[in-house]
Every structure is written in structure tokens, then in C-alpha cells.
Amino acid sequence: MYKLTSLALAVIMVLGIGHQVAAESGHDHNSGTINDLRQMTPEKLRSYIQENHDMCRIGKAERLERARQLQLEESQKNADVTQWQFDVNYYEIYFDINFTTEIIDGYVTMQATSLFDGLTQVQIDLYWDMTVDSVIQNGSQVTNSHVGNLITVTLDQPYDSGSVFTLTTYYNGHPTEGGFQAFEFGTHGNPPVKMATTLSEPYFARTWWPCKDYPDDKADSVDIIIRHPDNFVCSSNGTLQSIVDNLDGTKTTHWQEKYPITTYLVSICVTNYMTFSNWYVAMNGDSMPVDYWVYPENWSSANSSYPITVDMIEAYAQKFGEYPFIGEKYGMSQFDWGGSMEHQTNTSMSSSAYYQSIIAHELSHQWYGDMITCENWHEIWMNEGFASYSEAVWFESQGTFQDYINYMNGMRYTGGGTIWVTDTTSVWSIFNSRVYDKGAWVLHMLRHVVGDQTFWDILAAYYDDPRYKWGNITTLEFRDICEDISGKDLHEFFDDWIWGEYYPQFRYSYIYEQYGPDDYIIYLHLRQTQTSNPQVFDMPVDIDIYDGSNYHLTVVDMDEREEDYIIYMNDAAGAPWSLYVDRNDWILKSSTSESYGFHLIYDPLDDGTQYASYTDSVIAKGGTEPYSFSIVAGNLPAGITLGATDGMLTGTPTENGLFTFTVEAVDNTSNTKQVEYTLTIAESTYIPGDADGSGSVDIDDVVYLINYIFSGGPAPTPIDAGDADGSCNVDIDDAVYLIMYIFSGGPAPQSGCVSG
């Protein structure tokens, strides 16, 4: 579904005000009120429409009744467990549309498979205000009770798991409008021509036909057979089977959808349409019709705007995989709603908007939404985020990468709330710009996180995955595909963006030093300052350093709220001129520079080896020198000390293992920073000076060395164990060194050349 544009919102408001004022005060709408509405913020507008749109069309008594029924529906949500005990295979929908009485009258046959041993009762969704004449099974009437928006049917016998049963429900009535539209009798043109169209998403198919109205139970196929005035045309899902002239002023049009389809995507459009067609040539050379049903008064607008659809199918087929319903058609039928709706193989198009973005959006839903459908309405971004992202994909295919980025920047959503919809009780809580725009940004960001080629590989794998093709998907299942294809752990990414709120607010600062003719070292301090959840968006961040003529790109991984990075730059063109965080807008973010404070920079320490001399340092930058350093928690390995004024870690470790310690650095104005470091010291295979390998250093080692040097005795193992003075030779000096150590308090033996 295409979100309502501001233009469309204005249209609805004008309609809404007209109805409301007429109903409640008996006056025509006044433009002053409309102007007041035009000055409302989008949020206020949305809530105004939410309160008034549906209710403005009916009187007060009816409103109360509607509210009561909606409440009833809510209370029944937990009661309809028998709906999960069967799986629908097929529907045949037949009804006659009487445009004078605005009554539809017909039947729906449902074939389903029991999922439960001894199934005796099933429940079918149908709104309370439709009349059920009878429910027929195997030629006989079976008991039904229609309470609230559910028909409870007692089957003619118990059905065990795997067995198939068929029910035909005869019904009639004037369908209640619900949600965005449901079934609508309306008019178009001047003079007005009657029309009947539908928009059932998310759970309003049940207002006009009896069905199991949940997105995760797709019928394998559906026949849709509509009797309508003979001067009207009926378009619907799938392929046209027949049009029969009943010679009584009516025709019967039969459509058949042979691909799996969920209830909210079943649609009919009936009025005095004019039609035209294009052909799409598939990647395998087959041709498929692209059919348009347009109001006669819109003939020229549609003729100039719609044919680009063929190019779009081609572009998407190449990016996402072949058009999913290639054995049937792609159709677009005009209707009178402000937005548009991706009915399977037959999108309902707003009769007032011809934007490429809308055409592309609905078309892409044939892949994302129709072929693969969100498992439930919490997951609606799997439909709408993908379709909104596909708009940008279309413009990228027709232009430059910058066009793509610009389009994405036009869809920035910076408000709160999670993309995963928590409240699915109204269309307004489900279909908000968060799932459209921020949902699109999640895919845009994913593209950068996994890399361009991998991203398209993910979409290809998603399209082909037999677990989801023609079926349903959840965010977590999609995450698993992304992880499989990319080899990356994306748990944090999806957690942050789908179940978190807002976006990272970056603050950055940096200083640089020159350490060679063209060599620079840049110290970058980057932090996230948002106070919402998550506190840390864990993802790679592009850092671009500009030298006055070129950008030097470094990608840093940010998984802490505050991090320091050291970036080396070799640049003959000159010193760093400026620095950009996510210059190409791969992240939904804000980014502000700040002055560089005093920082103790976490830079992983080099590993050391036991008995080998060690040198590394902790680095403080910024603030006012001189600095002082101390250990405030944990322990250094024995033999290593921290220089109190230079931050140098030096010495010869005599123990091995993993050492964790916290360094505190203080600058001259008492700015204090603490960083926890880890230092790994590998175990030595020998004790320095232990020439005979006895496990201790004593006079026997001196004897052993003399024996080796002068009498051809065995060599120390390894030879470095005998190199007590670290000279890289084993000779009489080592024996002397050991004697000094053992008897005269000389320095400890060194670990030979290993110390190098």
C-alpha cells in the first residue's frame, strides 16, 4: 500500500469535513476550518484523521454500534482458536453486485484441510452486518451461528488431521466500510458513474467475504466470479477466464488467481473502465500482458504515465528475481482512494496520482508483500519497508548513485517508536511512516553493513528461498537469511533498528599529528549521545578525511557508546583538512562536531612473552600536558611497570596469562580518564639461565654450560636458555653472568635472543 501523500491527506480531509459538518451541523464545510487543518503538523493531522475519517461517513447511532462491534471483535481475538485448526486451500467467491441497493449477494466456497484430529467446528470471519443465509457442506445445510464478526460452523462429521472439507457460505448485505476502505460503493467522473472497489488490508476482507482472514493462511488458488451491470468492466486477480453476457442487463466476469494468495490481496474493481495494455518480455523470452483499467476521464493521463511500468518490471526482475506472477499478468486498476494498494497482479491505483514512486512502490510489492507476505501485522515493514526501499532502487536504476542517496534522504524518519509494530489494532497504528521510511532505511543501512554485492545476493536468496516463496516471513527469518549469506552476526543490527527507537546521534572530535613527510596520525573520538533505547547502535561507520582535494575513507566498527580510533593517513596532498562521519549517508543519524577533550585512547596492547622484555604504551591525547598515569584496578604481570609520566609499559614479565587492568590518566588541569586494558603474556617454554632444564637456576647450570662450552657436553635446550646475558651467543660470559646472579646478586638471567 502506498502511504497517503500530503495531497491525498488533504483530499481525505476535505471529504471528511464535508461529511462531518453535514452530519452534525447541517452546514456546508467552510474553508476556514480546512485552512486550520492545513496548518496542523503532520502528527496532528494523522490523529485528526484517525479520529474522524472512518466515523465521518455515518451517523451517531451507527457510530456507537460500530464502536461496540469493534470492541466485540477485539474480545473475540482470543476465542477464535478453532481458526488455527485448519488450513485453507482454495476459495471460490461469487456474488452479484446491485449498484442500486448497494447490496452484494452470493456465496464463498472454502476448501480447507484439518490440522487437528476430530475437528468438528470451524470459525470463519465475516462481519456482523452481513447476513448469512446458509452454510452448505456436501449438499446439506450445516449448523452455523454468526455472532459478532465470526461464523461458527459445526461440520457434518469429525475431520482428522490431513482430511479435507469444503464449506459454502451463502450470504448477502451492504458491506461496512472499515480500515482504509474495505468494500466501497462510490462514484467517479462528471456526470458521476457508479463504481465498486475494495481495499481490505489489513483485516477487512471479512467485511465483504467470508474467509479465514489472516495473512499467514494463503489459499493455493482463488476463483473470483462477479455479476455486474453489462456496461461495466470487472478487473481482479490472476487471469481472465470468461465474460458471460447474461442477456438481462448483466454480465458475469470470472477471474482466476492460480498463485498462492492471502485474503487481503483479493480484490475486485468494477466500473466503466477503459483498458489498454503493454507487454513485458520476461528474462526467458516469454511475454506477459501489463493491463491497465482506467477511468475514461483519465485516459490521457494514464496513457502517458502508466507504460513506464514495463521498464520497472524489467528493472526489478533484474535486481530481485523474475516478476513473481509471470504466468498471469500485472494489472493496474484505478480507484478513488488517496493512496494505492498492491492487490496481487492487479494493483488498485489512486486515480489522482501518477507518480513513478507510487507505480514503482506498488509494483515492487508483487515481490515483497504479495509473493512473500509479512507473517502478521507486527511485521508490516517486511512489506512496506521493502516497497519504499524499492522506490529508491528504481530511481537508482534510472540515474546515479547520488539520485539513490538523495531519494533515501527524502525518506528520513527521525521520530520514536519501533519499526516492529506493537499495536496492530488500527490501520493508523500499523501503517505509519516509521514502517515505510525507517523500514526502507534499514535495508539501505543493511546494504552498507554487508556490502553492495552481498546485499543483492541476500535479496536473490530471499526471493528463491522455498521456505518463504509464496508464503510468509518474519524479521527474524529474514535476519537469518542475511546472516547465512553475509556470514556476519547481524543480531545487534536488527535488534537496534527493528526493536529499538530513534537513531544514533553522533558527536565527533579529532586531532592529528604529522610523523613523516606525508604521514599523519589522526586521533578520532566518536560517541553516541542519544538517551533513547538503544544507547549504542552497533555498526560500522564511515569516516572520511578530506585533504583539500581527496577523501580518505576508513570504516570504523562502533560497538561502544564512546570510542577512540587511531587512523593513519599517508597523503602527499597535505594534512587533514576536515573529517566527516558517514559522509555518504549510509546511516540514519545526526552528526555534530565538538572540541577534542582529554582522552586516554584504547589501542589494543601488543602481546608479550614470559621472560622476554616488553615495551608498549598507553596513549593520552588532548587536554593539557604533562600527563600522569597510574593503575587503579587490576594488576600488571609481574616484571612489567607503567611509566608514571610517559605511559610506557616496560619490563620482562616473569608470569604468563591474560592480565586485565585499568589505567587512569590525569592531565595538568585534573581531567581524568580511565580505560581498561588487557595484556596477554604467552607462556615461555624454558626458564632463562636454566641450561640443564632442571626447573631452577643454580650452580648446576653453570657446570652444564662450562661442560658444553669447553668439553663438548650437550647443548642447553633450547639454546636460548643458556644465553643468560642475552648476547645471542652462549659462551663463558653467560657462565660468569649466572655466577654473578647466583652468588653476588647480579641481574636475573635474560631469555636469550627471544628478547630481541
Q: Which residues does 29 contact at the CB level (< 8 Å), separation at least 6? A: 14, 17, 18, 21, 22
Say if CB 200 and CB 207 are below 8 A apart. Answer: yes
* Closest separation in Å from C-beta 436 to Zn ion: 7
User: Which one, 332 or 730, has the nearer CB to Zn ion?
Assistant: 332
User: Which one, 387 or 450, has the nearer CB to Zn ion?
Assistant: 387
User: Which one, 149 or 340, has the nearer CB to Zn ion?
Assistant: 340
User: Which one, 290 or 363, has the nearer CB to Zn ion?
Assistant: 363
User: Which one, 168 or 390, has the nearer CB to Zn ion?
Assistant: 390
* Closest separation in Å from C-beta 387 to Zn ion: 4
Q: Which residues does 728 contact at the CB level (< 8 Å), separation at least 6? A: 752, 753, 756
Task: Quote the CA–CA distance of 675 and 664 in Å, as a whole number.
Answer: 7
Amino acid making up residue 155: L
Say if CB 113 and CB 90 are below 8 A apart. Answer: no
Interface residues with Zn ion (CB under 5 A) are 1, 384, 387
Amino acid making up residue 621: K
* Closest separation in Å from C-beta 201 to Zn ion: 9
Q: Which residues does 517 contact at the CB level (< 8 Å), separation at least 6? A: none
Cell (9 digits) for 41: 503538523
For residue 240, the SS3 value is: strand
**Dihedrals φ, ψ of 645, to 5°?**
-115, -20
Say if CB 188 and CB 203 are below 8 A apart. Answer: no
User: Which one, 382 or 612, has the nearer CB to Zn ion?
Assistant: 382
Cell (9 digits) for 60: 451517531
User: Which one, 176 or 198, has the nearer CB to Zn ion?
Assistant: 198
CB-based contacts of 305-313 (< 8 A; 24+ apart in sequence): 305/354, 305/359, 306/332, 306/354, 306/359, 307/278, 308/356, 308/359, 309/278, 309/359, 309/363, 310/278, 310/279, 310/280, 312/356, 312/359, 312/360, 312/363, 312/394, 313/280, 313/363
The Cα angle at residue 371 between residues 366 and 373, in degrees rounded to 5: 105
* Closest separation in Å from C-beta 384 to Zn ion: 5
User: Which one, 1 or 326, has the nearer CB to Zn ion?
Assistant: 1
* Closest separation in Å from C-beta 368 to Zn ion: 9
User: Which one, 234 or 387, has the nearer CB to Zn ion?
Assistant: 387
* Closest separation in Å from C-beta 579 to Zn ion: 39
* Closest separation in Å from C-beta 389 to Zn ion: 11
Cell (9 digits) for 584: 555518504
* Closest separation in Å from C-beta 472 to Zn ion: 16
The C-alpha cell 457510530 sits at: 63
* Closest separation in Å from C-beta 47 to Zn ion: 21
* Closest separation in Å from C-beta 292 to Zn ion: 19
Task: Quote the CA–CA distance of 532 and 513 in Å, as a whole number.
Answer: 36
User: Which one, 1 or 199, has the nearer CB to Zn ion?
Assistant: 1
Q: Which residues does 82 contact at the CB level (< 8 Å), separation at least 6? A: 119, 121, 122, 123, 152
* Closest separation in Å from C-beta 431 to Zn ion: 8
Region class of 671: left (phi > 0), else alpha (psi between -120 and 50), else beta: beta
**Which helix (DSSP H) or strand (DSSP E) does residue 742 occupy?**
helix 732-744
User: Which one, 56 or 371, has the nearer CB to Zn ion?
Assistant: 371
What is the CB neighbour count within 10 angstroms for residue 95?
22
